[in-house]
Amino acid sequence: MSAVPNQGAEEQSEAFCYQVNGSCPRTIHPLGIQLAIYLVCAAGILITVLGNLFVVFAVSNFKALHTPTNLLLLSLALADMFLGLLVLPLSTIRSVESCWFFGDFLCRLHTYLDTLFCLTSIFHLCFISIDRHCAICDPLLYPSKFTVRVAVRYILAGWGMPATYTTVFLYTDVVERGLSQWLEEMPCVGSCQLLFNKFWGWLNFPVFFFRCLIMISLYVKIFVIATRQGQQISTLSKSPVGAARHERKAAKTLGIAVGIYLLCWLPFTIDTLLDSLLKFITPPLVFDIFVWLAYFNSACNPIIYVFSYRWFRKALKLILSREIFSPQTPAIDLYQE
């Protein structure tokens, strides 16, 4: 008779993250499913890290790529690469095990880095849209308007604003003191959900669409002007024709990047708003899917470059071959047809 209660207690303990009151329930997957999820997540992490690492190395190594625009691409790739290195491994374990086993300190640090790198990536996409807008719509003044100094200012803002925002929300008591009526207590132990902030959900939604509105508005204007330039291209000399073609290609690539950004982040943003209105009813599995879809955006940009930029494919070929070790390789003009 005594064996039955013990067995029941063991099953009950396995159904929770910790053997304490208020522990989060734990979803236990079969071993085969766990291994499959780990393999898929590991492949995603590998693509994110190696793809963005290649962008960092290519822009840093080849002198032809030392331009203000590519400095923004370099900074964007760093944010996405750090997300893959420092955030996604622990996010993988949390998603598969449905619990957080790494303590409060790492929980807060993980949340900080997650928010920092994602927001930094989003800000850089906005700044790249502004850069392409200047290049297409005002090509004569663009070299003097968008200099290395301007690019560095954008990069500092792209890292500084997310860092400040995240620090205030996670490492000060501003939220608890000023927005206490908007907060819900943590529902259980082991979720690494620092606070349920209704105000953050309502704020995140319009801010998301404000960024999207900026990028979409700029891209529509870029597309219209690039199309107009294409209609006038027959009257230009060969050199301006090449420049105009290059800028239209960059505009098309930007449009693809913005479209993928919307597809990746829209489900998470809408769910955040609905959760803040409906007392966080989203099932953990569904929320994890939305989170990983947003993470997926960081793996997409290098893939977009491979299929869009000839210089990117040439750099990849040189890096994967022994030619990268030649002293003359950094001086190669990757833009030469």
CATH (one of 2.60.40.1530, 1.10.486.10, 2.40.160.20, 1.20.1070.10) for 29-326: 1.20.1070.10
3-class secondary-structure state, position 139: coil
The whole-number average pLDDT for the span 289-296 is: 90
* Helices 88-97, 31-61: inter-axial angle, 10-degree rounding: 170
pLDDT level of residue 243 (50, 70, 90 thresholds): low
What is the C-alpha to C-alpha distance for residues 252 and 237, in angstroms, rounded to an integer? 23
pLDDT in tens, 55-70: 998 888 888 888 898 8
Q: What share of the chain is helix, strand, coil (3-state, %, to 5)?
A: 80, 0, 20
Confidence of residue 315 (pLDDT cuts 50, 70, 90): confident
Beta bridge partner(s), residue 189: 23
Q: Per-domain residue ranges for the chain?
A: 29-326
- Considering only residues 242 and 268, tell me which one the structure prediction assigns the higher pLDDT: 268
Identify the DSSP state of 98: S
Q: Is the pLDDT of residue 33 over 60?
A: yes
pLDDT at 36 over 70: yes
β-partners of residue 183 are 197
**Quick one: pLDDT at residue 74?**
93
In angstroms, what is the C-alpha Rg of the chain? 24
Identify residue 270 by its one-letter amino acid code: I
Residue range 87-101: average pLDDT?
Answer: 90
Q: Is the pLDDT of residue 37 over 70?
A: yes
More confident call, 211 vs 49: 49
Dihedral of the alpha carbons of 219, 223, 226, 228, in degrees to the nearest 10: -140
At what angle are helices 148-171 and 68-82 packed, to 10 degrees? 30
More confident residue, 235 or 196: 235
Q: What's the pLDDT at 306?
A: 67
Please tell me the distance from the alpha carbon of residue 212 to that of residue 257, in angstroms, as a whole number: 12
CA–CA separation, 75 and 69 (whole Å): 10
Q: What token pair was written down for 48? A: 């994110």
The one-letter amino acid at 205: F
Q: CA-to-CA distance for 189 and 170, rounded, in angstroms? A: 18
The pTM of this model reads: 0.83
Cα 46–chain centre separation: 15
Rounded CA-CA distance 305/31 in Å is 37
Whether residue 103 is predicted with pLDDT greater than 50 in this model: the reply is yes
| Mean residue pLDDT across the chain | 79
